[in-house]
Homo-oligomer: A and B are copies of this chain.
Amino acid sequence: MSLEPDTGPKFVGPGSTLTIAEFITGVQDSDIPDKIVHQAKRTLINLMAVSLAAAFDEPSAILARRIEAEGSAPGATVIGRGLRTSPASAALLNGYLAHLYDYDDTHFPTVLHPSAPVWPAVLALAEQRGLSGRETLTAFVLGAEVACRVATSVHPWHYDQGWHITGTAGAFGAAAGAGKVLGLTAAQMVHALGVAGTQASGVREAFGSHTKALHPAKAASNGLQAALLAQDGFTGPEQIIEGRRGFWAVLSPGGHSKPALLEGLGQRWELERNGLKPYANGVVSHPIQDAIISLRNIHGITPDQVSSITARVHPLVLELMNRPAPTTGLEAKFSFQHCAAAALVDGAGHPAQFTDERVNDPIIAMVRSKVSASADPSIEEDEVSVTLTLGGGRTVETRVEHATGSPSNPMTDAALEDKFSALASAILPREQAEGLLNAVWTLDEAAGLSALIGLMVRPEEAGRS
């Protein structure tokens, strides 16, 4: 018979969780620098784009039917689909949509995707509670800050052990953002983080299944519920991060860093280390795609002109993405050959280039068969050299030093708008998509979210609940 109550010493030092909670509750809108507000808007534009694109996919529809069957009272809105449901369920489904395509933002130091768990929790409660645009942006910035700092504090041990860091650290971020929307006290925030943090979950074994995107979805929903419970007086552990059997000890036994969690809080912002992806596939082939799209556009190259595409790449490209003949969209996302072929044929790497249909397109397949790569340890991960051999033996070549979306070469606002348009206009009428884009760019001036919420729903779905 074992002993279940844990009556040993519970505290291991000054309270990191309390420090985080006091930081969240103490920040005012005016404490957030303009450039960080701008980054927050960029993440929301990207989130809207990728969520709209995923809104009507099969696994999204399954999850939506599950939520509809719950029949909850309407309180918040699902992107694209327009379903109005409880904030917790809206956060669940929006968190799912945001990550389904693996096309959301990425915190470079940790590969955490901050928007997918945090934005849906913040948006759902902010919609229900009638927050202003600026207050909503502040809540997201703080939620993202907490998610990224918790992630950084356990990186790389936690991810290496097999945790999907977006699901685990994301739950802390969702609770922080939701708690900020609710205006929790610091003590309530400690409990919100505790209730959410003990639910941190998601193992990397789920990658490749419908369930990967359920991790940030549950983080968003659980974090939101944790904040609501804490506001009502529900208690959680008071030292969920640093406690003897808390997040660090149990989910990152390999190590953790307290300075990474706490140093420079409010002086520097993790959204500065957050990037957006120009392509919807595995990141190591992004330099190849940049190079080929550049050559294609400069030289006006068409598929029938190409006799071979060769690349000198970082060794991980071959290790992780060497799939010469993918047959499904999912496989193609991890095929550098397909990514290269789609870049040449379509000039893009959006979800539209990774449908099963596109993967089996004869022209794409023809070009794909001409792609090869050699590993070169002197090449960096965000670097590549590509040579296209054309009919008659003519060659064109280029070198990409830092791929688009890497820390040294962020996507420009214009490129982000192009990505948004490509994805959103497949779901929304063009004018509405432009209106939505504008609503995000001006969100800090909006008295409320109603315009934004109205614009993110496909017209034929509007008015559902």
Interface residues of A (CB under 8 A from B): 1-7, 10, 58-59, 62-63, 65-66, 69-73, 86, 88-89, 102, 106, 108, 110-111, 156, 159, 161-163, 191, 194-195, 197-211, 214-215, 218, 222, 225, 228-229, 232-240, 243-247, 249-251, 253, 282-284, 316, 320-321, 333-334, 381-382, 406-407
Judged by DSSP, the binding face of A is loop
Complex Cα distance A282/B1, Å? Answer: 11
Which residues of B have CB within 8 Å of A210? 234-236
What are 19 pairs between A and B in contact, CB < 8 Å?
A1-B106, A1-B382, A2-B110, A2-B111, A4-B283, A10-B205, A10-B208, A58-B233, A62-B229, A70-B88, A70-B89, A195-B211, A197-B203, A198-B201, A199-B201, A203-B246, A205-B245, A205-B247, A209-B237
Contact, CB under 8 Å: A1 / B203: no
Closest beta carbon of chain B to A222's beta carbon, Å: 8
Most buried by B among A106, A225, A381: A225
Chain B residue, CB-CB nearest to A113: B4
A1 contacts which of B234, B283, B321 (Cβ < 8 Å)? B283
A214 contacts which of B86, B159, B195, B218 (Cβ < 8 Å)? B195
Which residues of B have CB within 8 Å of A251? 203
Complex Cα distance A156/B225, Å? Answer: 32
Chain B residue, CB-CB nearest to A250: B162
Closest beta carbon of chain B to A401's beta carbon, Å: 14
Which residues of B have CB within 8 Å of A240? 203, 205-206
Most buried by B among A1, A108, A250: A1
A72 contacts which of B72, B199, B334 (Cβ < 8 Å)? B72
Closest beta carbon of chain B to A223's beta carbon, Å: 13
Which residues of B have CB within 8 Å of A204? 6, 245, 250
Can you name 4 extra interface pairs (CB under 8 A) apart from A69-B228, A205-B245?
A6-B204, A71-B71, A198-B201, A205-B237
Contact, CB under 8 Å: B253 / A235: no
Contact, CB under 8 Å: A65 / B247: no
Complex Cα distance A156/B205, Å? Answer: 23
Closest beta carbon of chain B to A87's beta carbon, Å: 9
Contact, CB under 8 Å: A229 / B86: no
Which residues of B have CB within 8 Å of A197? 203
Which residues of B have CB within 8 Å of A211? 194-195, 198, 234-237
Contact, CB under 8 Å: A66 / B205: no
Closest beta carbon of chain B to A63's beta carbon, Å: 7
Q: A111-B4, A229-B63 are in contact. Are A205 and B201 (CB under 8 A)?
A: no
Contact, CB under 8 Å: A209 / B235: yes
Complex Cα distance A462/B151, Å? Answer: 47
6 nearest CB pairs, A to B: A71-B73, A162-B245, A162-B250, A201-B201, A204-B245, A205-B246
Closest beta carbon of chain B to A211's beta carbon, Å: 4
Closest beta carbon of chain B to A326's beta carbon, Å: 12
Contact, CB under 8 Å: B202 / A198: yes
Closest beta carbon of chain B to A83's beta carbon, Å: 14
Complex Cα distance A4/B222, Å? Answer: 23
Which residues of B have CB within 8 Å of A382? 1
Q: A4-B283, A320-B3 are in contact. Are A236 and B253 (CB under 8 A)?
A: no
